Structure formats: structure tokens, C-alpha cells
């Protein structure tokens, strides 16, 4: 098969949600459809630590850090499905954000009983700034939740994205009876077991117990309102990330999950051209190219290995091929590779656009690196710097270790494990992260790889705002608006909270405060 044909089969996506919205449950159903697992409960068991342990998992356990399987891939109805994991809970880190740069679309799960929650919002912002198409699954219909119209409004108002309901629920909780499938003009009846029974709209009259039911009638009227509004699904707006098709269902029941998955797979985009060195690189270009979006250190302690995760963007990758690392111009033969299937790591011989491969990293790669087959290299657009929220001052416990301390920090910063800032007043090291896990990994690696014990002193959650150099006046900043510099010597202030930010703005209306999330969004 040609690269083009292979690429057209690829669906590479991530699932974003707030913890407990149902990501594990939904992923597990997808894996069942893909025959990757045979029993429901496998993934959940893994999550709760009851899963058979591979050596990789063993390390996770020992370090108390869950790396979990990063990529799952399987075949479904002729498609090659690649699901990239975006760790949640306390594993939330910059890797979670960066993963979103390697996907072609995203499924956003919203718990219908709760609506939009904090972590969904954060992840959504990253998708928005990258213009990634988003498909929404509103979960837990089997429980009494928020009104469907209110949920749609919440998505539109809080996330600033248009919605288009693909199906419409009839009741919820105990009154839940099924969903209207608006695309196929049929009602799918919830029977309480896994069988989903579709009834074409014109045959509904044959089911008086349904059509005479109050809940059913109310939902039917709501759906007619939607139809009368006459809005069509604008696929272009979906591709631009401006409109999200919304599906209602229950991952646990499961109900509406398989139809959702089918629709999603057929509507979700295949790998698209990506910007590199000022031009668009088509995925069906003959030469292989890809970029590194994540580096995982010490996945297997016996080998002290590092694995760089490469998103294949164009051409055909073959194990053993020579590629040029754009940053250094050096040619590298890629002999050791891994493809990630659920929890095991298999060797990847061949990969196509949309696929993710793990390559052995003898400490030469960096996050954001581009690999290209042949000599005509180019560089995929830099991954954006994601604004951290947590900040800690860091020092070496033993001052005699200053040299190793500096070296360790420099290398880990380069690798993208943490972000480094320097206090303007007394040059202290301030480490920024988006999740606590990054500090744990940082501390562990400083000790294990650089033999330095560190002391971390929290300065709490902060709201970073970048400043224009000519507007910086040190006198204006204090502990509540700590002034620091980033790696590129740009100034930024770390505001303690919304209040101190507002207070500063009121006092200094002329000083421009730049929110990186917004900058990233505008620069796209
Ligand atoms: P996460 O990965 O997003 O954190 O969520 P997960 O799938 O683990 O689901 C979180 C909880 O929500 C689980 O319950 C799960 O069973 C439940 N859940 C998921 N989908 C649905 C749904 O459609 N309906 C209902 N009613 N519940 C749902 P738990 O009690 O934490 O775990 P467990 O005891 O069920 O394993």
C-alpha cells in the first residue's frame, strides 16, 4: 500500500477529560472494539494496580510514578487507530500538554453530572490554540445530570466553541431511554444490556409505550426544535476546531459508545500537512519526517535507557533507516525502535504518518527535534512553551555540589522535563511545572543521575504573565508579583493570585501583561 493509502487509514487522537469523567472506561471500550483486550476491566485493573506487571510497570511502581502506556494502537474496520494517552490526576505534566501537539484530533469527555471541570478547561485551551478538531462525548447519561441544553450552552460559553449535537438524549438517570441519532434519523433504544436497538424514525409509532411516554415526548420536542433551527453540521468548522460535534452516552453502560466511536472514526481527520521551516509538508511526501514530542528517561532500569517519542509526519519509516537530525545536521541510523501497544512495547519495523514510534535515545535528542530522511532537512514548528502554574525555588542541599547541580538542571531543562526561571532580585533558581509529578521526577533524577540532593521550597501556584522589557521597573514587584526571567531572558511576573494580578493591573494600567496561552493562540 502507498504512503497515501496508509495515511488515509490513520486516526491519531487523544482523549482529554477531568479525572473521573470516564476516560479509562471509554478507552477500555475502544480497546474492546479493536480486539486489543478481551475483557472489560483490564484497563481499569491496570489503573488500580492489579494489572500484570511488566518490567516497565515495575519501575513505575518503585518510583511511585505512573508512566503508564503512552500510546495504544489497533485496527478497527480498516482504520489504524492510534490513541495517545494524556495522563491525568497527579501525573499531569507538560508531557500531557505536549502530547496534544502530536495528535490530529481530540475526544473531550465531559461528565454530564458535573459539566466542564478545571482540567478539561486547561487541556481544551491547548487544543484550541493549536486548532485541533475536538469531538465531545458527554458521559454518564445513566445518572441524573445537567440538562442537555445547559451543557451545550456551558461548552459554548466557557470554552468558546460552537456545538452541534449529533444525538439527543431521551431522559437521564432512571428515566433514561435512549438517544435519537440525528445523522441516521433513528432512535436507539436503551434496553439495559449491551444491545443497542435502532428504530427508524418512521417506525416509532409501532412503539406506543415509547411515544406516549412523557419523557420521550419532551425529548422529541427538543429534538424537533433543533431540527427546525436547521443548522447543518459544518465539517469545515469542525476541522478548524471552531465547532465540536457532541455525542451523549454512557461509557459504563455502555450506551452510545460504539456508534460514537464509528462516527468519530469516520469523521476524524487523517494526518494533515504540518508547518515546517515556513512551508507545509504534506504527509504523503515520499521522505520520512517526524518530530520528537516527548522523552522518557529510564523506562527500563536494566538498560538505563531513554526513549524519544516520534510522531511520524510524512513518508514511510523503516527500522534501520538513516535520518538527519535537523538541529545538529548529523546522520543517525535508527536501529532500535518501539511501537507501543497497550502495556507492551513491540518493535516497530515500519510506520506511517500518524503513527508514533519510540526510538532509543543515547542522549542526543531533545523535545521539538525534527528527524528527516535524507539530507534536505527542515524543522517542524517549535512546540510552544506551556505556561507553568506551580513554582518552587530550588537549591542544592550541599553547596559543594554546585557544579553537578547546575549541570543537572541545565540538562533537565533542555530535555523539557521542567522550566527554569531566575529571580531578578537575587538570582535564585525557580522551577516551573504544570503538575506535581514533574517535581517528583526532577528530584529523583537529580539524585539518581547527577548525585545531587536538592531542596525544593514551594512558592505555590502562580499566574505567570510575561512583560515587555522596556516596561520592567523592579520597584513595582514584590513577593506577590515575583519578578523572574525565563531561559530566553524574557521578564515575567509570578502573581500570587487573581487578586494580586488585578491589583497590579489597576495600579499600573500601562504595563502590558502577556498571558502565554493567549499569545500561543494568536500566533497560530
Ligand atoms: P477517568 O479515567 O476519567 O479518571 O475515569 P474512570 O473511567 O476511571 O471513571 C471514573 C468513575 O466513573 C468510575 O467509578 C467509573 O466506573 C465511573 N463511570 C465511568 N463512566 C460512567 C458512566 O457512563 N456512568 C456511570 N454511572 N459511571 C461511570 P468508580 O466508582 O471510581 O470506579 P469503579 O468502582 O467503577 O471501578
Q: What is the arithmetic mean of pLDDT over 474-499? A: 92
**Global pTM?**
0.88
Per-residue pLDDT tens digits for 392-417? 999 999 989 999 999 999 888 887 78
Q: How far is the CA of 251 from the centre of ligand 1 (A)?
A: 8
Dist. CA 460–CA 496, nearest whole Å: 8
Check whether 360 has a pLDDT greater than 80: yes
Check residues 306 and 147 and name the one with the higher pLDDT: 147
Q: What are 357's strand-pairing partners?
A: 310
Tell me, using a 6 A CB cutoff, whether residue 102 lines ligand 1: no
Residues 229-258: what's their mean pLDDT? 93
CA of 36 to the centre of ligand 1 (A): 20
Distance CA(222)–CA(184), nearest Å, equals: 17
Give the pLDDT confidence score for residue 168 in this predicted structure: 96
* Cα 64 to middle of ligand 1, angstroms: 23
DSSP 257: H
Which pLDDT score is estimated for 157? 95
Calculate what percentage of the chain has a pLDDT beyond 90: 59
CB distance 251 to ligand 1 below 6 Å: yes
Q: Which residue has the higher pLDDT, 246 or 337?
A: 246
Residue ID of nearest Cα to ligand 1 atom 29:
20
Evaluate: CB of 44 within 6 angstroms of ligand 1: yes
C-alpha–C-alpha distance, residues 26 and 135, integer Å: 14
Q: Which of 37-41, 53-57, 192-196 has the lowest mean pLDDT?
A: 53-57
Banded pLDDT at 303 (limits 50, 70, 90): low
Domains, in order of start, for the chain: 3-68+76-174+232-267 (3.40.50.300), 274-372 (3.40.50.300), 390-523 (3.30.70.3280)
Triad 269, 6, 313: Cα angle to 5°: 65
Evaluate whether 337 touches 360 at the Cβ level (below 8 Å): yes
Q: Are 186 and 166 in contact (CB under 8 A)?
A: no
Residue 338 Cβ contacting ligand 1 at under 6 Å: no
Q: Place 208 in a pLDDT band, splitting at 50, 70 and 90.
A: very high
pLDDT range class, residue 169, cuts 50, 70, 90: very high
| Helical H segments across 249-340, by residue range | 257-267
Give the 3-state secondary structure of residue 247.
strand
Output the pLDDT for position 460. Answer: 87
Residue 421 has pLDDT above 50, yes or no: yes
- Flag whether pLDDT at 465 surpasses 50: yes
**DSSP E strands: which ranges in 184-236?**
186-190, 196-200
User: For ligand 1, atom 25, which residue shows the shortest CA distance?
Assistant: 140
pLDDT in tens, 114-145: 999 988 998 998 898 889 999 999 999 999 99
Q: What is the pLDDT of residue 523?
A: 43
CB 148, CB 256: distance < 8 Å: no
Q: Which atom of ligand 1 is nearest to the CA of 19?
A: 4
The Cα–Cα gap between 415 and 36 comes to: 33
SS (H, E, C) 332-400: EECCCEEEEECCEEECCCEECCCCEEEEECCCCCCCCCEEEECCCCCCECCCCCCCCCEEEEEEECCHH
- Please indicate whether residue 429 or residue 339 has the higher confidence score (pLDDT): 429
Among 97, 42, 137, 107, which Cα is nearest to 342's? 42
Residue 47 has what pLDDT? Answer: 56
Check residue 522 and give its pLDDT.
Answer: 43
pLDDT averaged over every residue in the chain: 86
Band of pLDDT at residue 340, cut at 50, 70 and 90: low
pLDDT over 90 (residue 173): yes
pLDDT class of 505 with cuts at 50, 70, 90: very high
Question: Whole-angstrom Cα distance, residue 357 to residue 349?
Answer: 10
Amino acid at each position: 500500500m502507498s504512503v497515501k493509502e496508509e495515511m488515509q487509514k490513520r486516526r491519531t487522537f487523544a482523549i482529554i477529560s477531568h479525572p473521573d469523567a470516564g476516560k479509562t472506561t471509554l478507552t477500555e471500550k475502544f480497546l474492546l472494539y479493536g480486539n486489543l483486550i478481551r475483557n472489560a476491566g483490564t484497563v481499569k485493573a491496570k489503573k488500580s494496580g492489579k494489572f500484570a506487571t511488566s518490567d516497565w510497570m515495575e519501575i513505575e511502581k518503585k518510583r511511585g510514578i505512573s508512566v503508564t502506556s503512552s500510546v495504544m494502537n489497533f485496527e478497527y474496520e480498516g482504520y489504524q487507530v492510534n490513541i495517545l494517552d494524556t495522563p491525568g490526576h497527579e501525573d499531569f505534566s507538560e508531557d500531557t500538554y505536549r502530547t496534544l501537539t502530536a495528535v490530529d484530533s481530540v475526544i473531550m469527555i465531559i461528565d454530564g453530572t458535573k459539566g466542564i471541570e478545571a482540567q478539561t478547561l486547561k487541556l481544551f485551551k491547548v487544543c484550541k490554540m493549536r486548532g485541533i478538531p475536538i469531538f465531545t462525548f458527554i458521559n454518564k447519561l445513566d445518572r441524573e445530570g445537567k440538562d442537555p441544553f445547559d451543557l451545550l450552552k456551558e461548552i459554548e460559553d466557557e470554552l468558546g466553541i460552537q456545538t452541534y449535537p449529533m444525538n439527543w438524549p431521551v431522559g437521564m438517570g432512571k428515566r433514561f431511554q435512549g438517544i435519537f441519532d440525528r445523522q441516521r434519523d433513528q432512535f436507539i433504544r436503551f434496553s439495559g444490556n449491551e444491545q443497542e436497538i435502532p428504530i427508524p424514525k418512521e417506525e416509532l409509532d409501532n412503539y406506543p409505550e415509547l411515544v406516549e411516554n412523557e419523557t420521550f415526548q419532551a425529548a422529541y420536542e427538543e429534538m424537533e426544535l433543533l431540527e427546525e433551527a436547521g443548522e447543518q453540521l459544518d465539517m469545515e468548522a469542525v476541522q478548524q476546531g471552531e465547532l465540536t460535534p457532541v455525542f451523549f452516552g454512557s461509557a459504563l453502560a455502555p450506551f452510545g459508545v460504539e456508534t460514537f466511536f464509528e462516527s468519530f472514526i469516520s469523521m476524524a481527520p487523517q494526518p494533515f500537512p504540518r508547518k515546517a521551516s515556513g512551508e507545509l509538508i504534506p504527509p504523503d511526501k515520499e521522505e520520512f519526517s517526524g518530530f520528537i514530542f516527548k522523552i522518557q528517561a529510564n523506562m527500563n532500569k536494566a538498560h538505563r535507557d531513554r526513549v524519544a517519542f516520534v510522531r511520524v509526519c510524512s513518508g514511510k519509516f523503516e527500522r534501520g533507516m538513516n535520518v538527519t537530525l535537523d538541529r545538529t545536521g548529523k546522520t543517525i541510523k535508527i536501529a532500535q525502535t518501539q511501537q507501543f501497544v497497550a502495556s507492551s512495547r513491540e518493535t516497530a519495523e515500519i510506520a506511517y504518518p500518524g503513527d508514533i514510534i519510540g526510538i532509543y535515545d543515547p542522549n542526543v535528542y531533545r523535545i521539538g527535534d525534527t528527524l528527516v530522511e535524507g539530507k534536505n532537512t527542515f524543522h517542524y514548528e517549535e512546540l510552544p512553551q506551556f505556561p507553568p502554574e506551580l513554582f518552587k525555588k530550588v537549591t542544592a542541599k550541599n553547596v559543594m555540589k554546585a557544579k553537578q547541580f547546575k549541570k543537572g538542571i541545565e540538562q533537565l531543562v533542555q530535555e523539557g522535563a521542567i522550566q527554569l526561571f531566575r529571580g531578578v532580585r537575587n538570582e535564585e533558581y525557580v522551577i516551573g511545572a504544570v503538575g506535581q509529578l514533574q517535581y517528583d521526577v526532577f528530584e529523583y533524577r537529580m539524585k539518581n543521575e547527577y548525585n545531587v540532593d536538592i531542596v525544593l521550597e514551594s512558592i505555590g501556584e502562580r499566574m505567570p504573565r510575561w512583560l515587555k522589557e522596556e516596561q520592567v521597573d523592579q520597584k513595582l514587584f514584590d513577593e506577590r508579583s515575583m519578578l523572574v526571567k525565563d531561559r530566553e531572558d524574557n521578564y515575567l511576573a509570578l502573581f500570587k493570585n487573581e487578586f494580586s494580578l488585578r491589583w497590579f493591573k489597576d495600579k499600573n494600567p500601562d504595563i502590558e501583561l502577556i498571558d502565554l496561552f493567549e499569545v500561543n493562540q494568536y500566533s497560530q
